[in-house]
Structure 1
Amino acid sequence: MSGANDLYDPKQVAALSDDALAAGVEAARQAFDSAADLEALHQAHTAHIGDRSPLALANREIGALPPAAKADAGRRVNAARSEVRQAHAQRLVVLESERDARVLVEETVDVTLPSDRRPLGARHPLTTIQERVADVFVAMGYQVAEGPEIESEWFNFDALNIGVDHPARSMMDTFWVQRPDAGSESGSADSGLVLRTHTSPVQARTMLGQQPPIYVICPGKVFRTDELDATHTPVFHQVEGLVVDEGITMAHLKGTLDHFASAMFGPGIGTRLRPSYFPFTEPSAEMDLICFVCRGDSVGNPDRPCRTCGSEGWIEWGGCGMVNPRVLQAAGIDSQRYSGFAFGIGIERTMMFRNNAADMRDMVEGDVRFTAAFGMEA
């Protein structure tokens, strides 16, 4: 039996001819060039590069060739398919650039046009500042304490060493809900009810409810019989801090206030303490902020006057001091073993300092145009 006369005796596969491959490449180029958008290009990609495309089917026919012919056919098919992919990539770049340019034109927004959105409201900046204060002290390990706004006279005055003859008990300062001589439902006339004049009653309640160490802040709403004007309001907000522990000194108070001031007004804002008097602290002090506008540079410098601090270099911020031993004793805490400090600031005053809000009436009138200007703090 005689064998084949030629080792290279390929079968005649029409799809693998040079003409067929060139025709497939040209058809793909024309389809890509005629695609007007990315969707049409995707369809052309499927037709000429996909699994059922002519070049893909030609690649499958290589298996029908004898071994000596497969390498040459594979090289020619791969070259054709590479040309088709390159043509597709070039057209894709062109169509994507056209799409991006078109989107920029079609989706242009005229930011100078008036908005058609009407916001329903805004978060009040006093609420934002209270939460910011709470975050500062919670980060230092403090707890946030709350108490009732209608308070017992004993908690509001007596527990804080405010005597019966103190002017704060008069009708000029206090909103009375129930006078002491009116008695209560149980017939007791020992203590009346007031709208709390400060948040210090929460401190008294905290000391009665837990043993030292105590580290709390007490934010909340307070009430006094003031006329509403640019700098006063009968309903305002305070935040008070209380620390009771062994070995607490004025140095701890000063360091806490300096950190608090820096957190609220920026680095480099320190505090100073001026001797003062409060019934529930001894010694007591008024705390001043270094002016956050001039940083004290306006003092004695007529060339750089400062309206914020009146060229004094300091701005009054609140009151503070070491907790009076009588207050500790009234709460059942051993004043020989424990000491503490307390401080109180006005939230409205803090907002006026931080945001240059000149008129306190703007804070209570509920005008959304005032509150929306402050935005949202992180």
Structure 2
Amino acid sequence: MPTLFDPVQAGDLQLANRIVMAPLTRNRSPNAIPLPLTATYYEQRATAGLLITEATAISHQAQGYADVPGLYGTEQLDGWKRVTDAVHAKGGKIVVQLWHVGRISHTDLQPDGGKPVAPSAITAKSKTVLIKDGVASFVETSEPRALDLSELPGIVHTYAAAARNAVETAGFDGVEVHGANGYLLDQFLKRGSNQRTDDYGGSIENRARLLLETTRAIADAIGGGKTGIRLSPVTPANDAHDEDPQPLFEYVVKQLAPLHLAYVHIIEGATGGPREIADRPFDYDALKTAYREAGGKGAWMVNNGYDKAMAETAVNEGDDLVAFGRPFIANPDLVRRLREGAALNPLDKATLYGGGAKGYTDYPTLD
């Protein structure tokens, strides 16, 4: 039986253990540029088998929250290169999460104060983060506009270009496509946010088209073995919902199988919330079976509310990787603490979003 602490192969990525640091937005990149402090933050956590960065905007239009990092400018790529160099110097592996927020944005964050973009012009019942005078505040998202059919190839190209820049310029070991949590690709997948009547709306095949085109383009650009994807079949995050997610997501993973991805990252239940949602039942074992039976060989990563005992059970029962989110914020040495059964540091929720070193790089380790 494999354990959490055994090595594993995820596509082209040879990982030292099966513990993954999940993507965690921290809002500490003014002008979308990762700071030297960001390199320290990730370096401290490099004992994870894999680090997945905080969600990172592929373009200015893709940005939805204040002070989140980007991948579309030279200074941003230089900032990330400092991060990857620091992680690699500690023997770690790191991928960047590619993000387009779609309608989960605000006009203050968009180019020239324009409307955010979406599959359909439906305002999300959600909030985003603005930072003014150093103070973060949650505000309602702005009304979006529906993307024109002619704009979609450009978005696919931007994703692929960001992936290529991430690997070839910024030095990442790979990328994760953010297809979850009610952001753009997930907005296209789900009927609650996609009411299009063209080739990108209506049927399952049409609603999945943009996510699949994007992932194929990225795999073509950098190789499937360096490409992961994150999916959240039933999370209500950011007003995401679909009345029949099982066939939708089984179709998606079957289509992803031939791409020979590094991994498929599944959020079970509500992101950061209940693992079971009464009115949104979902069979995750059936989803994994659909992927495997279609020939999918990428590592299967599970996420949401795992502790050590649950993670050990998941690995024993055939899951390849387990992602931990907030425990990694407060515990840079989480891998060691899990291995030794040590107590975890408490999380300072007041410092989660924005700020400096406090609550970011100053959590104590066992050393």
TM beyond 0.5: no
TM-score, normalising length from structure 2?
Answer: 0.25
- Structure with higher Rg: it is 1
In terms of fraction of residues, the more helix-rich structure is 1
Tell me the TM-score normalized by structure 1.
0.25
